[in-house]
Amino acid sequence: MKRRDFMKLGVGVGAAGLTTGLAPVSPARAQAKQAFKASDVQPVGYPTVVATENLGRKLEAATNGRLSVKMYPSMQLGGEKETIEQTQIGAIQLLRVSAGTLGPIVDDINVVNMPFLFSNMAHAEKFMDGPIGQELLDKITANANAQLVALCWMNSGARSLYNTKHPVKTIADVKGLKFRVIGNPIFIDMMNSLGGNGVAMGYDQVFSALQTGVIDGAENNPPSYVFSNHYTAAKYYSLTEHLVIPEVLVFSKRAWSALSADDQDLIRKFAREAQMEERVLWNQYEQQAMEKAKAAGCEIIEIADKTPFQNAVKPVWEKYGPKYQEMITRIRAI
């Protein structure tokens, strides 16, 4: 889908709409009935999609139908890069996006994109729920270039390597394989330091690229691997768990500025509840994904010793780590 088609999709939201082009919305008009357009690259039933839909239902009930959410899952409005752009201009109001994709826009967020930063999921969840997590959300909101209001974090598990060629049991098995990564310099350097070839590519292109051999593999969490059908092309899933990248639920700052303080407070309240609800859904969904992959004959490879992988990415830490050292120290001390 071309960019001009994305823009057409963004015209009008619900009965009243929130924006027409780039014109600001008056507070009086904002009191009319509004349906916020929400986007997610993931399919129907995915935890982030369900949690955002639940947020919409609560908002609709709390405002007697004045405010609601219309969800567009499965990349209907484009990949993450395209939907961020649409959210920045107000064509989309509510967006779930990876911190990996936000990193090039809000540099402070890149700290959570460092490989092997979090020791485990419990560590990452404490970060998301605590003051440091809120501090980083506030940095997104305060960033003038982003034009986004960061509402909450959401779980996305640990990311691991999968490929079409052979099992990756040791770091030597990565050598020479072309792996898709999110379009962020940190991830390209990470993959190259592991011995593979990092290929920046939109999430919406990964499945066809695996099928046609444009790439040999990718890296992602189990639900993305399975429920985006990547597992049907790439049968080898190696539990490197090299990244734990949280998701971020953001609101268009252009649309946000038209809302009353009370409506903003309502949305923030339901977003925090969505953060916790999505976590429960995530744990269930991740288990279902692994079971489905095994039933389909995929080879799930446990990595007994991740030390060689951790040592291999030291150049990434040397290149990017000093910039975020204070925040890294605080996160690791959680």
What CATH number should be reported for the domain holding residue 133?
3.40.190.170
Residue range 41-64: mean pLDDT, rounded = 97
175 plus 258 within the same structural domain: no
Domain that holds residue 203: 159-244+298-332
Residues 171-200: tens digit of each pLDDT: 999 999 999 999 999 999 999 999 999 999
Residues 249-297: tens digit of each pLDDT: 999 999 999 999 999 999 999 999 999 999 999 999 999 999 999 999 9
Q: What is the pLDDT of residue 287?
A: 97
Average pLDDT, the chain: 92
Quick one: CA torsion of 101, 107, 111, 115, rounded to 10 degrees? 50
Residue range 220-236: mean pLDDT, rounded = 97
- For 60-69, the CB contacts below 8 A with 24+ separation are 62/266, 62/270, 63/263, 63/266, 65/33, 66/31, 66/32, 66/33, 66/34, 67/33, 67/34, 67/36, 67/263, 67/266, 68/14, 68/34, 68/35, 68/36, 69/35, 69/36, 69/38, 69/94
Residue 291 in any domain: the answer is: no
Q: What is the pLDDT of residue 32?
A: 85
pLDDT > 50? residue 51: yes
Check residue 91 and report its DSSP letter. Answer: S
User: Of all helices (H) and strands (E), which one includes residue 278?
Assistant: helix 261-295
165 plus 266 within the same structural domain: no
Q: What is the pLDDT of residue 244?
A: 97
Type of residue at 16: A
- Region of 77 on the Ramachandran plot (φ > 0 left; ψ -120 to 50 alpha; else beta): alpha
Residues 311-323: tens digit of each pLDDT: 999 999 999 999 9
Residue range 229-240: mean pLDDT, rounded = 98
